[in-house]
Structure formats: structure tokens, C-alpha cells
Amino acid sequence: MIIFPNRDAVIKNIQKNVANKEYNKKVEIDDPQMTTKESINRINEYFRKRATPIGKVKNLCARAIYRGVTWVENRHTEVVGLENLTALDRKKGAIITTNHFNPLENTVIRRFMNKAKLHKRLFIISQDTNLAMKGLVGFLMNNYDIIPLSKSINYLGQTFPKILKKIINDGNYVLIYPEEEMWFNYRKPRPLKRGTYFYAAKINAPIISCFVELKDLPSFEPNTNDTIHRVKAIVHVLPVIFPDPNKSAKENSLRMMEQDYNQKKEAYEKAYGKKLTYDFEPEDIAGWVGPNADKK
């Protein structure tokens, strides 16, 4: 998995947020910042460029890069629970949810889709600030199949659900992280935010519920001074969650969110053999050689 700098500071932020019971709060440092107006301007420019011939070429390039990265990063990745997709209508798309622990964890989901023979495009919901990133990551954020998320009420209430509905109705898949912020290599499923499930209910989209288990490998990530082991991902595919046509969007969103959290919680407890609590322990960060741990 890709390793950004400042992991020690990020892990300290995770510890602080856990102590404060703020499980959806940002922990990364030096992320780009922008106002709502800047966000909408950048998002409009993003979609304008994507519709141009050069934008379409760049999209093909970005997708090719992701296919290569998916192969390189997931040679050890396992997928279990594919039998839970039996009830899924493969002619229609779906929303995929999983725990949010690494910038390239979406390649783990791409690996799962390949194993499940879900041969459609995977779109990823990403914060608007990621469009301001530089270098290769910035190129991918601006040219891959990204759906940016803004704090604009009008965008969230009008534009965003229309984009989501079209993608789903075209038979494609959308990866959304209901934990919101990425917590580096954090093993535990965190409390979920309701927005994902409200949109799913509004557009009548099923939820493919996933939980990614992380196992430490003997080797270390480069440029981490032997403090971060590489990790192996195991994708647990959980029962698909469908909206109830007899319930309102609000009722469905609450029910679907609760079911998704409970499934992820149960998957965590089975995978790691212990009850889920939010007391911080060094092993909560996969691969991390904590302050009192011996290097493997």
C-alpha cells in the first residue's frame, strides 16, 4: 500500500480522535483547503475538462494506471464471501461501502470486482479538496472515475444525486466511504454517516457491504525506517442491503446504515477474534511498529 509522509503525526491524530470519540474527524495533515465557492468552481472545471477529447484520453490513461496499480498492490489480496452477491441484480449498478484506511484501498475493491466478475466501471466518491493535489496522485484524482463531493447544499441536494443515479442506472458501481475521513491502516470499522444510505434509498440502489481485514506481512514499506510493515488485505463481502420500497428514504437510510455497521462490526470480530471496542491499542494500526513493540 502507498505510504505518505508524516505517519507518526497521523497516528497521533488517530489516538487523539479516539480519545475524544471523534471517529469521523480528519487525521491527515497538510491536506489542501478550499472555500465552498472555490470548490464549486473547481468541480465545474473538473466536469468541463472531463467532457473534452483530451479529458477522455486522460481518463483512459488514468484507468490504465489504476489497472496496473491494482495488479501490483493486490497480488496477495484475498476475497471471501462472494456467495453473498447471489441476490444482486447484475444488470443494474450498486453502491459499495467499505472501511476507509488508505488512498489506494479502492484497488482492493477493484480486485474484489474482478474476482466477482462485476465487469463495469467503478466510480469513487472523493472529497473536493483531492482535486487540488499535485503530482501523480493529483493527475489520478483529476482524471480517473472520480465523483467529487462538496459542502455546497445545492450541489449535494441537486447535482450530486443526479450524477449518482445516472451512473447506477447505467449499470456501474460507486464506491462510497461512509466513515468519511481516511484513517491510515486503522483496522476497526468506525461509526457510519447517514448520507450514503439516504442517497441509496433516494435512487433505489442496493448497498454491497464490504469489510477489509488487514494482516501484517514480514517486509517493511520503503522509506518508513522499518516502522511500517506492508499489509495484506482480505475483502469480506457481506450480505447485500436493499432499500425497502414500503419505507421512506429517512427510514431506509437509518435501517440500512445500522445493518451495514452491524455487518462490518461482526466481520471485524470474526476476523480478529475479539469484541469491537474503541479503546486505542497499537495493533489497531495495521503494520505499525508501535512505541512498545518489537520489530518483526
Q: What is the pLDDT along the chain (296 residues), one digit of tens a residue?
A: 555 678 889 999 999 999 999 999 999 987 788 898 999 999 999 999 999 999 999 999 999 999 999 999 898 899 999 999 999 988 889 999 999 999 889 999 999 999 999 989 999 999 999 898 888 888 999 999 999 999 899 999 999 999 999 999 999 999 999 999 999 999 999 999 999 999 999 999 999 999 999 999 988 887 777 788 889 999 999 999 999 999 999 999 999 999 999 999 999 999 999 999 999 999 999 999 866 544 43
CATH 3.90.550 assigned to domain 15-284? The reply is no
**Helices 249-272 & 195-202, crossing angle to 10 degrees?**
130
Q: How far apart are CA 157 and CA 1, in angstroms?
A: 34
111 burial (CB, 10 Å; 0-12 / 13-18 / 19+) is buried
Give the CA radius of gyration of the chain. Answer: 19
Helix (H) or strand (E) holding 209, with range, is: strand 207-220
Helices (H), the chain: 7-19, 36-50, 53-73, 105-116, 135-143, 153-154, 160-169, 195-202, 249-272
Phi first, then psi: give them for residue 174, nearest 5 degrees.
-125, 125
Domain ranges of the chain: 15-284
So what's the pLDDT on residue 44? 95
Identity of the residue numbered 247: K
pTM score, two decimals?
0.93
Q: Closest Cα to residue 267, out of 247, 246, 238, 287?
A: 238
